[in-house]
Structures are given as C-alpha cells and as structure tokens.
Amino acid sequence: MQKRLVILWIALVFSGACNMIKAPKFKGIDNISLMKNEQGKLVLVAYAKFHNPNLLGGKFKVNDVKVYINDRFFANLNADTYKIPSKKDFTLPLEVDFDKSYFKKDNVLDALKSVIRNELKVQYKGKIYYVGAGLNIPYKVDYIQEVKLFE
C-alpha cells in the first residue's frame, strides 16, 4: 500500500511541475551592429532578447533565419544551438560574416549607394526554437534596422 502511495505522490508532483513550465518570453531583437570578430573579420550581429521564468534551462536553436541587406538576400543562419540559463534574462547573438560576397558584381551599385549613405538596411527574418522540458516552441523573428557602416 505504501509503495502505491509513493508512486501516486511522485506522479502528482511530476504532473504539477510539468504544468508550471512556461515558454521563455521573447522580448525582441535589438542592437544590430557591424563588428570585428577575433580574427579581424567584419560580422553583422543582432541580439535576440528573452526571459526564462523556469527553474529548468533548455536550448534555443536558430533554424533558417535569413539575413537581408538592402532588401537582397545575404545569408542564412542555421544550426546554431545555445544553452540558456534558468530564471534569467539572456540574449542570443545572431551573427553572420560580412564578407566580400556583399560586393558581388551584380550588387556593386547597391554597395556603392550604401557606402555613400553610410548605412545598410538589415533585416533578420525566420524562426528561433526553444527546445526543453518536452517543449518545442517557435519564435518568429522579423526585424529591420538601419546600420551605420562608419562611425
């Protein structure tokens, strides 16, 4: 009889804990900037801001977030996985190398216009997924910002 009570108690505690798990709150994208990484290469970086209210951590997966520059497709962000902390605000860096591909032959005029205006219109568009505690929750990303090339 005691064995059944222990199993029933464990089942009740576990089912109550599962109901208390909430999806991390997406607070938006912020602060797209053009930076240099450790190797001295230019990188476009945006930060996805979240708050995790749970005692459990989890993971975020960046899946097919597309980056557009001046309304032209530039790059895909794929397969990055980030561990997230419990009970905290946190940010996910969404980075893409800014290399010579932007200055391709068919894009030279647009690149020159960007240099003259000293800015790029950058858009991040796609989905980021929270994976943890039996959940798989998509967060839609669609953010546009003008980014200065030179300070």
Burial class of residue 6 (count of CB atoms within 10 Å of its CB; 0-12, 13-18, 19+): exposed
Contact 27, 50 (CB under 8 A): yes
The string of pLDDT tens digits covering residues 30-42 is 888 888 888 888 8
The string of pLDDT tens digits covering residues 95-137 is 888 766 666 656 666 667 766 777 888 999 999 998 877 788 8
**What structural domains and CATH numbers belong to the chain?**
22-148 (2.60.40.10)
53 has pLDDT over 50: yes
β-pairing verdict for 72-77 and 58-69: antiparallel
The sign of the CA dihedral 78, 95, 69, 49 is positive
Tokens of 118: 């000293």
pTM of the model: 0.73
The number of angstroms, rounded, from the C-alpha of 15 to the middle of its chain's C-alpha atoms is: 30
Alpha helices in 97-144 (DSSP H): 108-117
**What torsion, rounded to 10 degrees, do the Cα atoms 63, 141, 47, 132 define?**
-50
- Round to whole Å and give the CA distance between 59 and 136: 10
